[in-house]
Structure 1
C-alpha cells in the first residue's frame, strides 16, 4: 500500500529546519553570551548565522518573493538615502588623506549592508515561536554572566580587554527585541524582570555607557507606549534634527558646559575644537574631509586630540552636508517606518533605535565593524519578531455533537 505524500519525510525540509534552528541559536543565544567573553564574537558569529539561514532558505524556499522584497527595500526612502550615503562615502575617497584605511572601512560597511540584506531575504515569512523564545533566554543568561564577571573576573578568557564593555553594549541593544517579543506574547511581567536584570547588570558591572543607553531607550519606550502617534514622530524628528543641526551645537552647548563643568573641563575643550572646525573651514561643511579622517586625523595632527567622539561630529567632519542630510533622511525614514508595524511591537523598536542613537552620540566607536554587525543583528531580530506575529491566540477547539 502506498504511503500518503503528507506522511513522507522530506530530508531537505528537515535539514532546513535544523540549519535554521542552529542559525537562530547563534544569532539569539550565542552572540550575546560570547560578546562578554571575546571582542570578535559578534563579527564572527553573525555572518555564520546568516549563512545558515540563507542555506536553509535555499533548501526549503521558506522566504517568498525575495526579489520583490529586495526591490521594495532599495526603492524605499530609507533605502535610497542609504544608497546615497554609501555612494557619497565612496566618492569621498577622492579627497580623504587615508585612502587605504578609508577603502577598508567602506568595504566593511558595504559588507555589513549586504549581510543585512541577505539575512532579511533569508528570514521565513512566518517565524516559529520556539526559535524566538531563544532570545530572552540568551539575554537573561548573558545578564547573569555579566554579574558573575563583575564579581569573579573574566576567567582569563578576555585576552585583549574591553569585552565586558562591548558585551554590555550589545546586551543593551538586544534587550529591547527580547522585551518586545515577551510583551507580544502577553508575558509583560517576564519582560519587565528581564529589563531590570539587564539594567542591574549594567549598574553593577560599572558600565556607565550601557546604563545611559538603557535609560534613554527606556524613556523612548515609555513615550511611545503613552503616545503611540506623537512619540515616534517626536523621536524621529529629534534624531534627524540633531544630526542636521550638529554644527550649531558647540555654540549652543559651550556656555552651559562652562557653567556646569568649568572652563578647563574636557567637555569644554572638545566643544571648543568643534566650534573651531566649524568656523575655520566653512567650505568643508559641504564636502567633509573624507572617510576615516575623524579618527586617524587625531594621530597625524590633522585634528586635535580633544575633538569630540560623537557620531554627530564625525559625520559632518568626514562627509559634510551631503552625508548629514542623507543620514538624517535615513534615520527619520527608518524610525517612521516602525510606526507601520503592529502597535505592540512599536515601543520596543523605538527604544532600540533610541538606544543605538544614544550610543553613537555618547562616543561609542561607530566606525568599528562590530558596531555595524550588532546593528544588523538587532534589525534582523526585529524582522523575525514581526514575522512571528502571524498568530497571537491559539485556536479554540470546537466540539461538534454527533448523532
Structure 2
C-alpha cells in the first residue's frame, strides 16, 4: 500500500499563525497577570500584542474584508456616538484652562482608540478555539497570583505588603474583574458551565482581597447581572442599557435631591454632593460645555476644586464635557449594550456583566481617564470581539457505510 505524502504546510502562513498566537497570549495571559506587578505593563504590552495581530492579518489575510468591517462599524449608532464623544473631547481643548496636560491626554486617548479599531479590523473572521482558551487560563493565573501576593503579605513579605498597599495591586484586581467576563462567556458558550462558575468564584474571592472594595462591588454587580441575563437576556440587556443612560443623564440632579440632608461630615458622600451642587450653581453655563478634558484632576491640583469632590465617572463627565459629552457618552454606552445583546446569545450574559462591572467601578472612582483604564476597556472589548468570531460550528460530513443505509 502506497503511503500518501503528508500535506505540505506553508511556512509563511505558519509564521502568521504563530505571531497571532503570541499576540493573543500577551493580551489574554500577559496583561492580566503582569498588571499586578507593574504599573506600566498594561499600557506597554497592549500595543505590542496588537501590532503582532495586525502583522499576522497582513500576512495571511484571515481577517474579515476591510470594506465589510468598515461598513458594519460606521453604520452602528454606538460607533457614531463614540466618534461624536471623541470629537467633543478634542474640541474641549479650545476652552480648557489646562491645555498642555489636556492635549497630551487627548492624544493618548485617540491613539489608544485608533489602535483598538486597527485590532478590530485585524482579528480573524474565524477565531481558533485554541487561542480563545488562553482567556480563562490567563484569568485563572492572574487570580492565583493575586492570592499568592496577598498570602505573602500576610506572612510578612515586605515587597508583597507594598504591592497590596499600593495602587498597582488594586489596578490588577480591576483588570482581573474586567477580564473574567469574556472568559466566563467563552467557557459557557463551549458548554463548560462548571469551569465558568469555578473561575468566577476564584475571581470573586480575589476581588475581596484589596482594602479598596471597588473591584469587589464591580464583580458582585457584574455577577448578579450575569445570572439574571442567563434567564432573561433581552429584558436584562434593555434594563442595563436604560439604567446606564439614565444614570449618566440624570446625575446632576442627585446633588440637588440630596440638599435636604445637609452638607454632611467632612469626606462624606453628602459633602461630595454638596461640592458638586456648588460647582453647578457657581457656573451654570459650564453644565453645557464642561470645563474641558482633564479639568477634574488639574483643578484639584491647582486648588480650584476640592479634593472631596466626587471621584466618579458621573461627576467627571459632566464637569469636563457638560451635557453634550454626557449625551454622547450615554448614547454610545446604551447603544453598545443593545448591539451586544443582538449578536451571539451565548455571550450575552458575560457581555452584560462586563458592561455592568465597568460602569459600577467607574462610578465608584476608578481613574476613568487614566490610560491604564482606557487600555483595559479596549483589551476587554477586543477579547469579546474575538470570542464572538469564535462562535461558529463546522458541520462534519456524514459517512454512509455500505449495507447500513436505512431502507425505505
TM exceeding 0.5: yes
Question: Residues 193-208 of structure 1: matches in 2 within 5 Å?
Answer: 193-208=198-213
Measured in 2, the distance between the counterparts of 1:50 and 1:229 equals 32
Extract unaligned runs of 5+ from structure 1: none
Question: Residues 352-371 of structure 1: matches in 2 within 5 Å?
Answer: 352-371=354-373
Extract unaligned runs of 5+ from structure 2: none
Matched, 1:293 2:298: no
Question: Residues 148-187 of structure 1: matches in 2 within 5 Å?
Answer: 148-153=148-153, 156=159, 161-187=166-192
**Do the aligned residues in 2 keep the contact of 1:147 with 1:205 (CA within 8 Å)?**
no
Cα deviation, 1:102-161, whole Å, max 9, x if unaligned, reads 101100110111111011111000011111111111111111111110010488487894
3-state secondary structure, aligned to 2:82: helix
1:290/1:7 CA distance change after superposition, 3 Å: same
Measured in 1, the distance between the counterparts of 2:262 and 2:174 equals 27
1:284 Cα shift?
Answer: 1.0
Question: Residues 27-38 of structure 1: matches in 2 within 5 Å?
Answer: 27-38=27-38
Partner of 2:229: 224
Please report the RMSD computed on the Cα atoms of aligned residues, expressed in angstroms.
Answer: 2.2
**Do the aligned residues in 2 keep the contact of 1:29 with 1:137 (CA within 8 Å)?**
yes
Partner of 1:51: 51
Measured in 1, the distance between the counterparts of 2:380 and 2:303 equals 36
Matched, 1:340 2:342: yes
Matched, 1:245 2:247: no
Measured in 1, the distance between the counterparts of 2:400 and 2:210 equals 55
**Do the aligned residues in 1 keep the contact of 2:174 with 2:215 (CA within 8 Å)?**
yes
Match of 1:326 among 325, 328, 331: 328
1:205 Cα shift?
Answer: 4.2
Measured in 2, the distance between the counterparts of 1:104 and 1:85 equals 17
Question: Residues 29-178 of structure 1: matches in 2 within 5 Å?
Answer: 29-153=29-153, 156=159, 161-178=166-183
Measured in 2, the distance between the counterparts of 1:255 and 1:185 equals 53
Partner of 1:401: 402
Matched, 1:236 2:237: no
**Do the aligned residues in 1 keep the contact of 2:267 with 2:308 (CA within 8 Å)?**
no
Question: Residues 302-317 of structure 1: matches in 2 within 5 Å?
Answer: 302-317=304-319
1:16/1:193 CA distance change after superposition, 3 Å: same
Measured in 1, the distance between the counterparts of 2:135 and 2:65 equals 27
**Do the aligned residues in 2 keep the contact of 1:257 with 1:267 (CA within 8 Å)?**
no
Segment of structure 1 superposing worse, 300-309 or 315-324: 300-309
Segment of structure 1 superposing worse, 285-294 or 157-166: 157-166
Cα deviation, 1:321-347, whole Å, max 9, x if unaligned, reads 110111111011100001111111101
Match of 1:374 among 358, 373, 376: 376
1:36/1:12 CA distance change after superposition, 3 Å: same
3-state secondary structure, aligned to 1:246: coil
Cα deviation, 1:42-64, whole Å, max 9, x if unaligned, reads 10111111000000001100113
1:205/1:286 CA distance change after superposition, 3 Å: closer
3-state secondary structure, aligned to 1:139: helix
Count how many residue pairs are aligned between Structure 1 and Structure 2: 396
Relative to the length of structure 2, the TM-score reads: 0.92
Measured in 2, the distance between the counterparts of 1:103 and 1:236 equals 31
Cα deviation, 1:243-298, whole Å, max 9, x if unaligned, reads 1111101122455687xxx5445211111001111222111110111111111101
Measured in 2, the distance between the counterparts of 1:241 and 1:121 equals 32
Measured in 1, the distance between the counterparts of 2:294 and 2:136 equals 36
1:400/1:255 CA distance change after superposition, 3 Å: farther
1:92/1:204 CA distance change after superposition, 3 Å: closer
